[in-house]
Amino acid sequence: MSTGNNDELGGTIGGFPPASTLDPQSRSLYTSIIIILKIYPVLILILGSFGNLLSFCVLLRAAMRRYSTYCYLACLALVDVGVIITFCVNFISLYHFNYDIQDEPFPCKLFAFSIYFLPQYSSWILVAVSIDRVISAKYLRLAKTWSKPRHSVLVTFLLGLFLAVLNSHFFLYENNSIKQRNQQQTNTQTNPQRILHNDSVIERFLSSDSFAHQNEHLALINSFSSSVHSGGSGGGGGTGSNSDSSLSYAPFTPSPTQSVSRETILQDQFDNAITIKSKSSPLFDVNAIHCSLEHTEEFKGFYFYWAWIDLAMNVFIPFTGKLKEK
């Protein structure tokens, strides 16, 4: 793939830094990531949705609806379809059409809610399936009264209600990226030159154009002082020669030591500014969740605790219990 294509991909795809800030090696890496993100979600959406919907249709057959386990698995197939759609649709919209569904307030909150709620729901349905199988295998008397389709529907509903309440706080957060974008557009309209040339004052002062501009001023001062000195010495005999010491101007040339010291300091500052700018490459997130704790300044301190709660509800409690069961 050519460099022009790399620039186009890196500059137009959301979630990535501008192509102009990337070195050639990073551009090729980001281009590979973008290609994967364009192909992988489409395959998963087609194959995953087809497989889960086919499982749902099979599990709802009359011969299987009589068993509670198959009712759990039928609900699990639907939830997994929701998980696939939640993860893949935004990738497809973002990396194929350059449109983020999180740009709208309510879809942003619904996306954040679904991306946490549905995986947790899927894990806990697996827990319900495991418990139902244990009751059916070891507690036959309890299985006659408990392992029934209507009980599986009730348990599934209660699990979904509990997890929905647990994740309902995502509907309270606002999309700060929309505010930042609106503020940036306002700044662009009021002061477009500042947004267009988004450099710091130090970088502009230490730029090569600034050095050239300063050298032009020094050259003008030197030429002016030289002309005044030559005019005073050759214009009027003794009077002119006597006035050289008071009226003539010496060329504005700094001493060698001061010039070298000043140029060294300025060069060091310029190198440091360039180094800082090159090291502070913008980070990117291919699946950023804008309406969440981590992107909300007011509740950002609680994200650490929520991450552990989500990890416990999604991984630790469900699957650790299954390992102990074995």
The dihedral through the CA atoms of 300, 305, 309, 315 has a sign that is: positive
pLDDT at res. 230: 54
CB 252 within 8 A of CB 222: yes
Could you say which DSSP state residue 214 is in? H
CA distances from 194 to 183, 188, 197, 201, 209 (A): 14, 8, 5, 11, 17
- Give the whole-angstrom CA distance, residue 256 versus residue 174: 60
- Give the whole-angstrom CA distance, residue 233 versus residue 240: 6
Torsion of CA 156, 160, 166, 168, to 10 degrees: -170
Could you identify the residue written with the tokens 């068993």?
A: 67
Phi/psi zone of residue 158: left (φ > 0), alpha (ψ -120 to 50 degrees), beta? alpha
pLDDT at res. 278: 47
pLDDT at res. 101: 85
Give me the helices (H) in 15-104, please. 24-59, 68-97
CB 127 within 8 A of CB 134: no
CB 16 within 8 A of CB 34: yes
Give the fold, CATH level 3, of 3-175+290-325: Rhopdopsin 7-helix transmembrane proteins (1.20.1070)
CB 134 within 8 A of CB 312: no
pLDDT at res. 196: 47
pLDDT at res. 141: 85
The one-digit pLDDT tens for each residue of the chain (326 residues) are: 434 444 444 444 555 555 556 667 777 777 888 888 889 999 999 999 999 999 999 998 988 888 999 999 999 999 999 999 998 988 898 888 888 888 888 888 999 999 999 999 999 999 999 999 999 888 888 888 888 888 999 999 999 999 999 999 999 888 776 666 666 666 666 665 544 444 444 444 445 454 455 555 555 555 655 554 555 555 444 444 444 444 444 555 555 555 555 555 655 655 555 554 444 444 566 677 888 888 787 888 888 899 899 999 988 888 875 444 44
Q: Three-class SS of residue 297?
A: coil
CA distances from 234 to 26, 222, 230, 238, 249 (A): 65, 19, 6, 10, 15
Distance of CA 262 to the CA centre of its chain: 41
Q: Which two tokens stand for residue 100?
A: 């983020």
pLDDT at res. 20: 59
- Give the whole-angstrom CA distance, residue 202 versus residue 269: 9
Domain boundaries of the chain, sorted by first residue: 3-175+290-325, 201-228+249-289
Candidates 158, 81, 168; CA nearest to 127 is 158
pLDDT at res. 291: 85
